[in-house]
Amino acid sequence: MIGDMTQLGSLMAVVMFIWAIFRQLFPDEFQRDARKYANKVVSYIYPYVEITFHEYQVDIWSERSKAFASIERYLATHSSNKATRLKANVVKDCETVVLSMDEHEEVTDEFNGIKIWWTSSKKIPQQRALFSYRGDEETRYYKLTCRRKHRDIITNVYLKHVLDEGKAIAVKTRQRKLYTNNKSENWSSFRKNTWSHIVFEHPSTFDTIAMDPKKKKEILNDLMTFSKSKDYYKKVGKSWKRGYLLHGPPGTGKSSMIAAMANFLEYDIYDLELTSVKDNTDLRKLLIETSSKSIIVIEDIDCSLDLTGQRKEKKEESKEDKDDPVKKKVEEEEGKKKGSEVTLSGLLNFIDGLWSACGSERLIVFTTNYVEKLDPALIRRGRMDKHIEMSYCCYETFKVLAMNYLDVESHELFESIGRMLGETKMTPADVAENLMPKSDEENAEICLKNLIKALEEAKEEARLKAIEDARIKAEEEEVSKKKEEVKNDEKKQEIDEKLANEQGNDAKENGVN
């Protein structure tokens, strides 16, 4: 290629020289026609096709081209052995070095037996792009050169391969992010600032999640199948997403489970705070700006909005009610307090409306402590495909926690702990807290004894609470019994009075007769 290029370079120099003399001698119109024909001749002689990919697109935002970034990554993995001058970029908090080819380097690639040349260069813009934020900075570009006869396969197949590989490398090497939505009123129309993010580094994994091993395996299989089912979803005409509902008491591992899912699938997390979203339109905007390979989370969905009753038909308001200034004021105040006009139907559309198909490979996860409070439409299968109950600590759960926190697989105290867990409701969070050594002197046995003590206390507490509950219930029953008796007495008195009246009337009538 270099040899070919040198010959062509000399040829081009001669052409340029002749062109310079030509420009001095002939008028503009003639020059234009001549240029057209010269281009035709050159393209006839030159057996190569060149495609250029610039780092920045010339538009108002001057965004970095995604194609350029993908090519850069692709060439970084495919060129580092061949290019002699490389640039090093450090990613993932200085943990990983990514190499890419330096400027004015050339590397070759091979695809289905076809040779492709890639060169990297940079150029300084001759004129500043109007409204561009990037100003006069030099911009880099990659140039692909291939033989003209391979043009179709290169443009239709090879480039797709390069871009797909580049994207896959990006997913592997990227720092995963935890996003949260900014308040609607703080959004700017000039910048994309609907979501803010930090690097996502949660240590929870499926190894550290304590739950019934059978259930855990089922979830893992479900996630694995989902992540590999792109073609299946396409075949059945469904957008590639899946809904999970995690429900259970506080401290049973719902949030930890979401982090473990994200770590397992290597997805980003979008933690959506519904009360910061003004209305359904803003909710849709947020959805559009989420990326693929992500988990959209709405925690404590039962507390987020009043989603329980909004689907029920609203009572027809009378004209007087609508005009009542006091009622209007109360409604306005309530609206302000709620701070969000997102409705249940807006949320349902968010989950599986037409717009929800704008991304792919996405999980939507809701968590709640009170599953029974939710509108059945929100959690029906198809929207929330998998319901996972995270419950109180059982023996199996405890064994995982003991292994995680104490490195202990078995112990003589395990049996009594297992029995006590069957008798008492204790969350994995509480069990974990008791298992955690509080000082260097606390060994595994002391921690297990601490747990036994806590379980005994919890059992005693539950016993006292049950007695108290029973007492309150008996009192309430007594009160309602008394109320019933009073009611019956009143009714009886009413009937007696009625009878007495009727008898009086009869006597009067008989007297008259």
Ligand X SMILES: Nc1ncnc2c1ncn2[C@@H]1O[C@H](COP(=O)(O)OP(=O)(O)OP(=O)(O)O)[C@@H](O)[C@H]1O
Residue 79 contact among Mg ion, ligand X, none, beta carbon within 5 to 8 Å by kind: none
Which of 116, 408, 432, 458 lies at the binding interface for ligand X (CB under 6 A)? Answer: 432
- The residue type of 440 is D
Nearer to Mg ion, 101 or 431 (CB): 431
Task: Write down the least CB distance from residue 387 to ligand X, Å.
Answer: 15
Task: Write down the least CB distance from residue 244 to ligand X, Å.
Answer: 13
Separation between Cα atoms, residue 172 and residue 265, nearest integer Å: 11
Q: Does 263 bind ligand X (CB under 6 A)?
A: no
Nearer to Mg ion, 79 or 252 (CB): 252
Which of 83, 162, 169, 209 lies at the binding interface for ligand X (CB under 6 A)? Answer: 209
Residue 421 has a CB neighbour count (10 Å cut-off) of 21
Nearer to Mg ion, 146 or 245 (CB): 245
Which of 120, 208, 255, 276 lies at the binding interface for Mg ion (CB under 5 A)? Answer: 255
Stretch that binds Mg ion, among 96-104, 216-224, 247-255, 389-397 (CB under 5 A): 247-255
Q: Does 394 bind ligand X (CB under 6 A)?
A: no
Separation between Cα atoms, residue 398 and residue 408, nearest integer Å: 11
The H-or-E segment that residue 387 falls in is strand 386-389
Residue 252 contact among ligand X, Mg ion, none, beta carbon within 5 to 8 Å by kind: ligand X
β-pairing verdict for 268-271 and 177-181? parallel
The 10 Å CB-count burial string (b at 16+, else e) for 407-420 is ebeeeebbeebeeb
The 10 Å CB-count burial string (b at 16+, else e) for 35-70 is eeeeeeeeeeeeebbeeebebbbeeeebeebebbbb
Q: Does 371 bind ligand X (CB under 6 A)?
A: no
Q: Does 129 bind ligand X (CB under 6 A)?
A: no
β-pairing verdict for 294-298 and 386-389? unpaired
Which of 62, 120, 145, 252 lies at the binding interface for ligand X (CB under 6 A)? Answer: 252
Torsion, Cα of 384, 388, 389, 394 (10° steps): 180
Which of 8, 429, 444, 452 lies at the binding interface for ligand X (CB under 6 A)? Answer: 429
Separation between Cα atoms, residue 155 and residue 149, nearest integer Å: 11
Task: Write down the least CB distance from residue 257 to Mg ion, Å.
Answer: 9
Which of 83, 159, 169, 210 lies at the binding interface for ligand X (CB under 6 A)? Answer: 210
Geometric angle at alpha carbon 377, from 375 and 379, rounded to 5°: 80
Site residues, Mg ion (CB under 5 A) = 254-255
Site residues, ligand X (CB under 6 A) = 208-211, 250-256, 369, 390, 428-429, 432
